[in-house]
Structure 1
Amino acid sequence: MLYEELMFDPSLLLRFTIYRYLEQSQKQILSISQLSDDLDLNYQQSVIELNEIDHELAEIHPEHHSFMLRAGKVNIDNLSATVDEYRYHLLKQAVPFQFILYFLDEEDPTVEKFCEKYYVSRSTVSRKIEKLKKYLKRFNLRFTYTEAGMSGDERLIRIALFDILWLGTRGIDMPLKADNQVIDQLVEHYREYFPLSRTFFGIHELRLFTAIFLKRIERGNFVKYDPRYNFLMKDNPYYDFTSLETLVPVPLTSRQLKGESGFIYFLAHYAPFYTIRDDTSLRQTLHDFEVRDNPVNEFVTEFRQFAKKTLFPDQPGVMDDPLIVGNLLNITFAYFIFRQPFPNIMSQVIPHNDRPSHGEYVLEQNILNFMQSASENPAYQFSRSVHELMGKAFKHLLLPSFNQFPYSENLHVGIAMEHNAIFVRQLYRFLEDLKFVEAEPYDNSLSEDYDLIISSSLLLQKERSHLPIHVLDHNYGEKDLIPLYLLLRNTYDKKNEARKV
C-alpha cells in the first residue's frame, strides 16, 4: 500500500489526489468538468473539495491568490504550494501522523492524553490507524496504548518511524522537537560511514534519523548489540564503539553504548546506498566484507558468478562494477541480520507492478531460481525465510543493466501524413531516437499489423475507426511529442507484458 493510502483517511486522500492531479496537469486553465471526469467525481463534489484546497493553500502561504475562476474553471498557475508542502499540511491533520509525533515528542504519552489534545475519541484513533497498524504488523511491530508508542525490534521501529516521517516531510521540515546542536554534532561525527552524506538529501535524511535516535534513547528505548554484526565490526578499527558516549545527552551503560554504536554502523549498510563510485565508504565496505570469511560475501560472490553466465553473458563486467557489488552486499547483509521483512521506503512510493515486461519477468525468474537453490545450501541458511524478498531486491538493482531487447518486440508504427519532408522529418528523427520503435510510411495493406498509426488527419480514423490511430497536427511542436512518447511507451509496455504461464 502506498504511503498516502496508509496515512490519510478517505477525505484527506481525496484532496491529496486532486491536488496531485492539478500539479501534474499540462494546462494553465483546467475545467472542473474535465477534472471530475478524469477522477470519477461528481461536479459538486469537485467544487467543494477544490474550494477546501484553495482555503488550505491560503493557510500554507498567506499571499496565496485563489485558483478558482468563473465558468467552472481553475487556474493551475495559482497553485502556491508544492505537492510535498501540501502533503505535509494534510499530514498534520492525519491521526496516524499526529499519533507518531505525539509519542515521540511527549515525555509521558498515553492514548487518553492524545485524545484530549486532538479532540478525538479512542475509537476514532483505532479506526484511523488501522491501515498503518496492518502494515507494521508485517514487520512484527505494533502500537501500544497504555503508554503510547510502538513495540517490537527497536531497530525496525526506528527504521519504520524514519520511513513514515521522511516520506511525510521530504526534508522540508524537521517534524520533531529536537536539539539541533546535538543532531549536527552526531551527523558530523558519523557522516563518513554513510554514503548518503555525500548527497544533498542524504544529510537531511541523516538529521531525521538522528532525531529519532535521540528521541528513542531519551525515552529509555535502546538497541541491543547483535552478534551477527561480529564478522564486520568486531576488532575492526574502522568502527569506533567509544565516542558515542560523549556525543549524546543520555548516560549509557557499556552494553547500551555497544548496542547503539553497532546499530549506527549497521544503518550504514542496511540499504543499497551506493551511487558514487569514488566513495571511501564503498571502498571500505568492499574491503571489510572481503577480508574475513562470512556468508554474506560468499553468497554475493556465488550470485555474481551465476549472473555473469546466466544474466549478463555478453557483458559479465556488470557484475564486477563496485557499485553493483557494494549494493548487493548491503542488501544481503540486511537480510542476513533481520531474516524477515523490514520496512522499505520504495515499497511505499512505487506501486506494485503486476504486469512486468517479459524481460523483467525473465530476469526475476532466473534470480528467484538461484535464490531457491541457494536457500537449500546449509551455508546460506539465513536466506531460507527471505530468499524471495532478496530476489526481488536483486532484480530491482540489476534491471537497469539487464538487456531486455532479446525478450521484447519493437513497436511497428505507420506514418499516415502528407509525404512532405517539412511535415515528417522532425517526427521521423524523434521516432528514430526511440530504440523500441520501427517507423515507416503507412501502407494500407498492412493496416492491421501496425501497433500504432500516426496521422495528420481524421480521415483515416473515420474510415477505419478500429485502428489504433494518434492524430498529430501539421504544426506539432516538442510539447505535442510528449503525449505521443507516453502513448508509444505505454503501447510498448502492453505489447511486451510477461506472458502468463
Structure 2
Amino acid sequence: MLFEETILEKGEYQKFSMFRILKSFEGTNYTIIDISNAMGVSYQQTYNILQELLEDIKGFPNANLQKLDRKTFLSSKQIPITIDMYRLFLLKRSIVFQFINYIVQGANPNVEKFCQDHFISRSTLLRKNAPLKVLLEKYQIKISYNELGLIGDEKRIRFFLYCFYWLSFRGLEWPFKSTSYFDVSQQLQLEPNELNDPVVTIRTVLFWSISRIRVIHGYQISDMESFNEIFPRNLTAFNLDRSFNNVNFPNISNEQLLVESQFFLFFRLQSLIFPNSNDEISNKIYQEIKADQGTIWELTEEFITETQKHLIDGERDQQLANNIPLQANLMRIFFSYYVMKGDYFQFNDFYDQDNAIDYNNSTPYKIVSNFVNEKHEESKYRPYLIAEQKVIDEIQYLMIPYLRFFKSNEAVKVKLILESSDLVTRDVMTFLDDLSFVDIENEGDDPSDADVIVSSIADIDKIYSHKDLTDKIIVDWNLDANETEYFNLYQTLKKVFTEKTAIEKADD
C-alpha cells in the first residue's frame, strides 16, 4: 500500500488499513481484539481508530448510514462501500492529493494561492509533501515551488501522473474537469477491437487525457528518437493512434504532434500482455523487431538460448522457442527501459510484495539474474538493461509459469492419493495444476519421493507400510473441501517451496 502510505497522512492511512482488514475478515464474528492483532497496534489505539473510521462511514456521501453504530458496523458484511470508494474518499481530503491535482489541472497554479485556499502555511505543505518528494526523486522528478510544477523528463512525469490518477480513481469517477470521458473517447477514435477490455480502454483514455492536458499547458515530449530506432515504421506498422492531429490540437506543430503520437503509441506497446488467445499487438511487436534483426532481437534470442540450457528436454526447448507472447513481453521489457532511459513509474511499484511468493532463490531467478548482470557489462546491451534490478524482477516473473520446465528439483512434488476417475477430485487436481511451483507426481511414482502427500484416505501407512513416510507432509483431504481448506493447502505448499529454494541457495 505504498501509494496510500505516501499520499495519506498517518491517521487517515491507519483508518484505510483498518477498513481493508475489516473487508478481508470472513463472517461477522470478530472483535476489537481481532482487529488489534491484525493491525499490530494496542487495543486502545485500535478502538480510537475504529471510532474515527465509523464517523467517516456514517458521513459517507449517498450511503444513508448516518445511524450506523459500532456493533452493526462490525457485524455487517453489507456496508455498501468498497475499498476503492473509501480510498478515493480519503484521497480527496488529502492535501498531497489536492496539491498534485492542482498542479495538473489548475490554471496558472501558484503555491501561495494554494496555501491560502487550504488554510495552511508553505512549511506545512512542504512537510506533508515530504514522503512524495522522496518517491519522486527516485525517478528524477522534482516539485518546483517557485514556478509551481513538476520538473524532470516529461515522459516520466506522465507515467507518474498516470499511476497517480488511476490508483486514486480506478474508474469510479472521471478525474478531469476540462473534458468528459465521452468527449475524450470520441477524440481517440478507438476501433471496436480496441474496446474488448474495458479496463484497458479506461486506462488508455486516461493516459491520453493526461497527455492532452500536459500538451495544452505547454509540457511536451522532447523527442522519441530511441523509439524510432526500434520501430522505424512505428505509426504505419501499428496504426493505433489517430488522436494527435490538427483538429484536436490546432496550435501544435505537425512535428510535435508526430512526437506526441509516437509517445502515445509507446505507452500502448510497453504494457506486458498475458493473452488468453492470439494477441495482434504482441505478434506485431515480435514481427517488427524480428524483421529489424537489431539489438533487442539479439538480446531476446540470447536469453532464450541461455534458458534452454537449463530445461528438462527438447520438447520444453521448443515450447519456449515458439512462444511468441513470452518473447514479445521480453522485448517490451528491453525496449521500454531503453526508450525511458531508465526506471519509470509503474503500477507494481506501489504494491506491497511482502505477502507474495518469494521466487528470488529459484532457478529462473538465478538464470535471469546471471544473464542480465553479464549482459549489462557489455556496452552494446547496457542501454536496454539500464534499470538492471527492475529488468531482472520482471523477466523472472515472466519465467515463473515455466518453473516445471527446469532441471532443478525446486518445484514442490505432490503425490495425490485420490480416486483419479472421480469428478469430485478433479477440482483439487485443477487447483494444483494451476500452481506453477507445484509438480504433480505420476500415479506410479514412489510416494517417498514426494514433498507433500495429499490423501483422501485417513491412514495411508497401512497402504504404504513398506515405505518410510515419516518425514513427509501428509494433508488429509476432504472430497468436499471448502475454501479455507484450499487456502490452507496453498499455504502449506508455499511454505515447502520457500524452504526448498532456501536450501538450494545455501547449497550454491
TM band (smaller chain):
0.7 to 0.9
CA distance in 2, matches of 1:191, 1:100: 34
CA distance in 2, matches of 1:486, 1:95: 41
Secondary structure in 1 aligned to 2:248?
Answer: coil
Deviations 1:225-268 (A, max 9, x none): 22112234445533679862234245112332122112111112
TM-score w.r.t. length of structure 2: 0.81
The 10-residue stretch of structure 1 (485-494 or 162-171) with the greater mean CA deviation from structure 2:
485-494
Partner of 1:3: 3
Aligned partner of 1:328: which letter?
L
Is the 8 Å Cα contact of residues 112 and 122 (structure 1) preserved in structure 2?
yes
1:216 partnered with 2:200: no
The 10-residue stretch of structure 1 (17-26 or 427-436) with the greater mean CA deviation from structure 2:
427-436
CA distance in 2, matches of 1:73, 1:447: 49
Secondary structure in 1 aligned to 2:200?
Answer: helix
Aligned partner of 1:325: which letter?
Q
CA distance in 2, matches of 1:182, 1:216: 17
- Residues 341-490 of structure 1 aligned to structure 2 (within 5 Å): 341-351=343-353, 356-357=358-359, 361-383=362-384, 385-403=386-404, 406-410=409-413, 434=432, 435=440, 437-439=452-454, 441=459, 449=471, 451=473, 478-490=482-494
CA distance in 2, matches of 1:483, 1:322: 33
- Residues 274-293 of structure 1 aligned to structure 2 (within 5 Å): 274-293=274-293
Partner of 1:238: 237
CA distance in 2, matches of 1:377, 1:191: 44
Is the 8 Å Cα contact of residues 28 and 75 (structure 1) preserved in structure 2?
yes
Aligned partner of 1:14: which letter?
Q
CA displacement at 1:9 relative to structure 2: 1.7
TM-score w.r.t. length of structure 1: 0.82
Is the 8 Å Cα contact of residues 272 and 330 (structure 1) preserved in structure 2?
yes
CA displacement at 1:92 relative to structure 2: 1.0
Partner of 2:320: 318
Q: Structure 1 pair 429/256, CA: closer, same or farther in 2 (3 Å)?
A: closer
- Residues 49-128 of structure 1 aligned to structure 2 (within 5 Å): 49-58=49-58, 59-64=60-65, 68-70=69-71, 74-128=74-128
Identity percentage of aligned residues: 21
- CA RMSD in angstroms comes to 3.6
CA distance in 2, matches of 1:100, 1:302: 43
Deviations 1:383-407 (A, max 9, x none): 4533332222111112122227721
CA displacement at 1:168 relative to structure 2: 1.5
Is the 8 Å Cα contact of residues 139 and 343 (structure 2) preserved in structure 1?
yes
CA distance in 1, matches of 2:392, 2:479: 49
| Unaligned 5+ runs, structure 1 | 415-420, 455-471
Partner of 2:444: none
Is the 8 Å Cα contact of residues 373 and 388 (structure 2) preserved in structure 1?
yes
The 10-residue stretch of structure 1 (256-265 or 384-393) with the greater mean CA deviation from structure 2:
384-393
Partner of 1:264: 264
CA displacement at 1:79 relative to structure 2: 2.4
Deviations 1:401-457 (A, max 9, x none): 22277214547999xxxxxx9xxxx99995996447314637699897354776xxx
Partner of 1:164: 164
CA distance in 1, matches of 2:346, 2:89: 24
- Residues 17-32 of structure 1 aligned to structure 2 (within 5 Å): 17-32=17-32
Task: Give the number of aligned pairs.
Answer: 470
Partner of 1:461: none
Partner of 2:336: 334
CA distance in 2, matches of 1:278, 1:431: 27
Q: Structure 1 pair 20/333, CA: closer, same or farther in 2 (3 Å)?
A: same
CA distance in 2, matches of 1:265, 1:349: 26
| Unaligned 5+ runs, structure 2 | 433-439, 441-450
Secondary structure in 2 aligned to 1:268?
Answer: helix
The 10-residue stretch of structure 1 (15-24 or 1-10) with the greater mean CA deviation from structure 2:
1-10
Deviations 1:108-159 (A, max 9, x none): 1122222222222222222222222211211111112123221111011000
1:491 partnered with 2:506: no
CA distance in 1, matches of 2:278, 2:201: 18
Secondary structure in 2 aligned to 1:220?
Answer: coil
CA distance in 1, matches of 2:81, 2:395: 37
Aligned partner of 1:76: which letter?
S
